[in-house]
Chains A and B, each alone.
Chain A
Amino acid sequence: METIAATLPAKKPYSFTNGKLAMWLFLGSDAMGFMGLIGAYIVLRITSPDWMNGKLDPGFGINLTGFMTFLLIVSSVTMVTALAKIEKGDRKGLLFWLGMTILGGATFLGLQAYEWNLFIHHIADLASAYTAETGKEAPFTNYQATFFSLTGFHGLHVTIGVVYLSCIWVRAWQGAYTAENHSPVELVGLYWHFVDLVWIVLFTIIYLLPEPPA
């Protein structure tokens, strides 16, 4: 199995840069934002005996979102490879693997837009059928609200990540990073892996746990 040798500071307390501490503090506060939403989802989910309304909530195919999950995992490994390359002073390797990471993130966003489009149209179809059957306007369910809140908030983070990665790519192309000076590459990597980590949780609780519509 191939491994990548990388140079890291010795394992001791406080052996990190101010930038890394700031990024971790930011990620910690951002994680609390996500966890507020996820906590609300869990509480709503546990306390709803009929979480998905068969007449209003469409189910998901797992193929697309399974592939999106795999895509983010791949983009994480391209990101750590980019970091490992610049730690060895390989600027071309950094540019290539950062580019692959940006491509992975952009593809994920495109697939998410496609999924949202399908979901919105499916909800509209179900709402029309509900109105025709009952004569009432179809309500917006907790399931729909939490789906769009959680995946939308995550999608916003992916969008920011792609822009952030692109800025770092431009600086790398300008020759700003060397084997000795590449802290911004490590920081953008932390942010990107955080986005991947959050998706791992969302994929499980949103796509793998829902009850099928009756």
Chain B
Amino acid sequence: MSENAQVSHPYYRIFGILTVLTVAEILWVFVVPHSRMMLAAGLGILAAAKAALVGLYYMHLKYEGKLLWVVALFPLTLVIVMIAGFLPDAIAPY
């Protein structure tokens, strides 16, 4: 790819997908019958998909180099480690 290459951005398509996913989240909670575990799992997947679309397309991570990916993903890794570290103490009876 040459410097300053023309890139076509599907901004409005992403907007449509984000809107559909938001409606799907609300339907998943209030319309679709399921267990509590399924509720949380479904919402987690839908929210992660929306966050990924915003990061990849609106924040242009899809077009960036590896260094910015590291900067973006580092905090996510830390919070997973933090929650995993806290949970055993939090769950244990005292």
Partner-B contacts on A (CB < 8 A): 1-16, 20-21, 24-25, 27-29, 31-32, 35-36, 38-39, 42-43, 46-47, 62, 66, 69-70, 73-74, 76-77, 79-81, 84, 189-190, 193-194, 196-197, 200-201, 203-205, 208-209
Contact = CB atoms under 8 A, between A and B. Distances in A.
Contacts of A11: 1, 63-65
B8 interface: yes
B53 to A, nearest CB: 9
B59 A194 contact: yes
A209 B40 CA distance: 7
B9 to A, nearest CB: 5
> Secondary structure of the A side of the interface?
helix
Interface string B51-94: 10011001110011111100110111011001100110011000
> Secondary structure of the B side of the interface?
helix
A1 B46 contact: no
Contacts of A42: 83
Interface in B23-68: 25-26, 29-30, 39-40, 43-44, 46-47, 50-51, 54-55, 58-60, 63-68
A199 B44 CA distance: 14
Nearest to B87: A43
Contact of B65 (A14, A29, A201): A14
A158 to B, nearest CB: 15
B30 A35 contact: no
Contacts of A13: 65-67
A88 to B, nearest CB: 11
Contacts of B76: 31, 35
